[in-house]
Each structure stands twice: as structure tokens, then as C-alpha cells.
Amino acid sequence: MTLVRRTLDGLYGLSAILAALCLIMILLLILVQMLARWTGEVFPGAPNYAGYAMAAASFLAFASALNKGSHIRVSLLLNALNSKARHWMNIWCFSVATLIGWYVVYYIWRMIGFAIKFNDVSQGQDATPLWIAQSPVLVGSIILAIALTDNLVTLLLTGKDHIVKEVASE
């Protein structure tokens, strides 16, 4: 079981690193676009690429943020409940979140399928095939759905999830 745990934690860590690289890519795109404007050149598609990188960074960071306790949770309500009610409320919340997470994966998968089927490209000057821009979002949503499933299964088996508790919520 520790191999599975290490693999999942490694996946969440890798996803966070990829999200950070996307943020660095946004910075570099902005700098190159500024340099291009100062020199009178045109860098077509830079705002679109920055937008794609922002979407990728957001989705790739979700799983790591979940386990680090960075997502907004209704801790006030959970802390007001007794331990048994808190346990069942956590199970309910993770069950709903897991179902929604996998639905988002399905929806993005279909969206990418339609983009490929219809050769859909961005409307900007870059005319990037949308499946390329949407694929990192799919990867991030899959990793988030895995993290939600991981927390739900762990909660059901051990009574605890993997979310780091915030100091303010204790």
C-alpha cells in the first residue's frame, strides 16, 4: 500500500511542478510579447497561449492544492458537528465531489473529441488546434478526480483523508 501512496503523492507533486512551469511559461510569454512590442514586431497568439497556460496551470494545481488544504472547505460547519456526523458529512462531500470530478473529466474528454472530429482551431491569429490547448486541462482534471477518489477511498477505509488541516480550522 505504501507504493500506491508514494505513487499517488508523486503524481500530485509532479502535477504541481507542471502547474508551476505553466506559470513560468505565462511570465515568459508576457516578457516576449513586451519585447516584441518594443521592437515593433508582432507575436501573434501570445495572449491565447498565455490563456491556455493559465487554464493548464489551474487544473494541474487542483490536486496538489486539495491535499495541501488550499481549497475552500466548509470547515466552520464541519467543526460544529460531532465526530460521527463530521465523518459522514466528509464522506458525503467527497462522494459528491468525486462524482462531479469524474463528470468533468468525461465532459472535457468529449470536448476534446469534438475538437478533433471537427478540426476546431482557436479564433486568434495563431489558429492553434483546440485539442492541443485543452489536453493539459484534461490531464489536470483526471489527476484531480484521482485525488478526490483517493481521499474518498482512504476516508472510507481508515476514517481519515489526506488533506492537510489548516491551522485556523483546528
Alpha helices in 39-129 (DSSP H): 46-67, 75-80, 83-117
pTM > 0.75: yes or no: yes
Residue 157 has pLDDT above 80, yes or no: yes
3-class state of residue 16 by DSSP: helix
Angle between the 2-38 and 46-67 helix axes, to the nearest 10 degrees?
Answer: 150
Query: Quick one: which of 111, 3, 136, 130 has its CA closest to 61?
Result: 136
pLDDT bucket at 166, cuts 50 / 70 / 90? low
Helices vs strands, H then E, count in the chain: 5, 0
pLDDT bucket at 111, cuts 50 / 70 / 90? very high
Region 61-72: what's the mean pLDDT?
Answer: 88
Query: Quick one: which of 96, 108, 99 has its CA closest to 140?
Result: 108
CB atoms within 10 A of CB 19: 22
Region 51-78: what's the mean pLDDT?
Answer: 87
168 versus 76: which is more confidently predicted?
76
